[in-house]
């Protein structure tokens, strides 16, 4: 049961250390290859997650991608889409990271050996539900790690 | 997967020994002194202390320092952040040595080490800050 997993020390360790490492890598990867955006671009992220979880963040990313005229901002929000939304997503994405955690693997059904297409589809659907729930649960802490590491590396002061 | 952990008296002793070692190396004193030198005020140091004593996750403390450095306009936290983060990384490493394979124990040890460490740093800061003020009054 996913709710039981969230109560375990293994999960707490995951969010405290491994998730932090992944979030920091995602920040560093972005900054290595792109122009930094002002910190104000990141301010809305924790607010929408608090208000509406993954759905809120999905809307924010889609809106920002479509409305932003500044190239670097557009690039940033496309990157956020890759990190959070794209399935299966690039190597550093949050979804891939979570799916590769040994504790998470045990929560998912394995469709590899399933021949029946309908059965495989059912399994994929069930796994997506679990992954979305898991993602929704770690998003707030993930973006705490992400945003703070971003602010630290870019050190823009208060005004940006 | 367990949901309970027990901090044994041996683990408590290991934590205390580690904190004593940190004290004896002078690292926490030096950090407290540096915090005075870069101009951090008592309220900022108390903010760090309050956060560390109330945090439920070790990474909250790390993220607090990063956030302070990120928004720093007075060139204070940004001067000291790398050093503080290095201290915290060392604590995290030690917690794993003490906690072994049990994630519950490691998590608990990390927080306890962080709290012990911050108390040392804050004490040294307040002492150094009072010396600085006494010197200023004497001039």
Summarised one tens digit per residue, pLDDT across range B65-105 is 999 999 999 999 999 999 999 999 999 999 999 999 999 99
Q: Smallest Cα–Cα separation from A2: which of A112, A121, A106?
A: A106
Question: Do the chains contact at B2 and A16, CB–CB below 8 Å?
Answer: no
Mean confidence (pLDDT) of chain A: 91
Does the pLDDT of residue B113 top 50, yes or no?
Answer: yes
A positions 25-64 inside 8 Å of B (CB): 39
- A160 assigned to some structural domain: no
Q: pTM, whole model, 2 decimals?
A: 0.92
Q: Which residues of B touch A12 (CB under 8 A)?
A: 57, 103-104, 107
Task: With H, G, I as helix, E, B as strand and everything else as coil, classify residue A34.
Answer: coil
Per-residue pLDDT, A153: 95
Does the pLDDT of residue A157 top 70, yes or no?
Answer: no
Q: What is the ipTM of this complex?
A: 0.92
Q: How many structural domains compose chain A? A: 1
Cα separation of A84 and A67, whole Å?
A: 19
Per-residue confidence band for A160, with pLDDT thresholds at 50, 70 and 90: very low
Per-residue confidence band for B1, with pLDDT thresholds at 50, 70 and 90: very low
Q: How far is CA B14 from CA A34, B55, B107, in A?
A: 45, 21, 15
Q: Which pair of structure tokens corresponds to residue A60?
A: 């924010």
Summarised one tens digit per residue, pLDDT across range B65-74 is 999 999 999 9
Q: Which pair of structure tokens corresponds to residue A141?
A: 């802490």
- A159 assigned to some structural domain: no
Q: Which pair of structure tokens corresponds to residue A83?
A: 């990190």
**A13–B contact, CB cutoff 8 A:** yes
* Cis-peptide, bond into residue A82, ω within 30° of zero: no
Q: How far is CA B45 from CA A158, B113, B115, in A?
A: 19, 18, 13
First to last CA, chain B: 63
3-state helix, strand, coil in chain A (%, to 5): 75, 0, 25
Cα separation of B129 and B37, whole Å?
A: 9
**B8–A contact, CB cutoff 8 A:** no
Determine the structural domain holding residue A147 and report its residue range. Answer: 2-154
Q: Are B100 and B89 spatial neighbours (Cβ–Cβ below 8 Å)?
A: no
Indicate the residue of B58, B70, B104 with minimum beta-carbon distance to A152.
Answer: B70
Summarised one tens digit per residue, pLDDT across range A14-72 is 999 999 999 999 999 999 999 999 999 999 999 999 999 999 999 999 999 998 789 99
Q: Are B36 and B132 spatial neighbours (Cβ–Cβ below 8 Å)?
A: yes
- A22 assigned to some structural domain: yes
Q: A118 CB contacts (<8 Å, ≥6 apart)?
A: none
Summarised one tens digit per residue, pLDDT across range B54-66 is 999 999 999 999 9
Instruction: Pick the most confident of A1-5, A123-127, B114-118, B133-137.
Output: B114-118
> If you count residue pairs, one on A and one on B, with CB atoms under 8 Å apart, how many are there?
78
Q: Which residues of B touch A152 (CB under 8 A)?
A: 65-67, 69-70, 81
User: In Å, how far from its chain's centre is CA A89?
Assistant: 10
Per-residue confidence band for A2, with pLDDT thresholds at 50, 70 and 90: confident
The 3-class SS string of chain B reads CCCCCCCCHHHHHHHHHHHHHHHHHCHHHHHHHHHHHCCCCHHHHHHHHHHHHHCCCHHHHHHHHHHHHHHCCCCCHHHHHHHHHHHHHHHHHHHHHHHCCCHHHHHHHHHHHHHHHHHHHHHHHHHHHHHHHHHHHHC
Q: Which residues of B touch A39 (CB under 8 A)?
A: 70-71
């Amino acid at each position: 049961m996913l709710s039981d997993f969230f109560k375990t020390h293994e999960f707490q360790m995951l969010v405290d250390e491994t998730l932090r490492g992944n979030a920091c890598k995602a920040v560093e990867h972005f900054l290595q290859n792109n122009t930094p955006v002002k910190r104000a671009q990141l301010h809305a992220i924790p607010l929408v997650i608090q208000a509406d979880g993954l759905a809120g963040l999905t809307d924010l990313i889609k809106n920002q991608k479509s409305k932003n005229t500044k190239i670097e901002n557009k690039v940033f929000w496309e990157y956020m889409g890759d990190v959070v939304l794209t399935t299966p997503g690039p190597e550093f994405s949050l979804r891939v990271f979570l799916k590769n955690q040994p504790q998470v693997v045990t929560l998912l059904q394995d469709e590899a050996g399933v021949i029946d297409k309908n059965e495989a589809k059912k399994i994929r659907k069930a796994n997506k539900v679990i992954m979305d729930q898991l993602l929704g649960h770690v998003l707030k802490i993930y973006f705490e790690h992400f945003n703070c590491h971003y602010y630290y590396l870019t050190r823009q002061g208060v005004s940006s | 997967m367990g949901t309970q952990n027990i901090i044994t008296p041996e683990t408590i002793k290991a934590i205390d020994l580690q904190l004593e070692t940190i004290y004896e190396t002078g690292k926490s004193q030096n950090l407290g002194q540096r915090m005075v030198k870069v101009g951090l005020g008592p309220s900022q140091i108390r903010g760090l202390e309050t956060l560390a004593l109330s945090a439920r996750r070790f990474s909250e403390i790390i993220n607090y320092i990063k956030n302070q450095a990120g928004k720093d306009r007075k060139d204070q936290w940004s001067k000291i952040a790398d050093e503080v983060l290095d201290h915290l990384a060392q604590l995290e490493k030690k917690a794993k040595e003490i906690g072994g394979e049990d994630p519950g124990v490691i998590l608990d040890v990390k927080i306890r080490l962080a709290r012990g460490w911050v108390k040392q740093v804050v004490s040294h800061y307040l002492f150094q800050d009072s010396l600085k003020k006494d010197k200023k009054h004497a001039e």
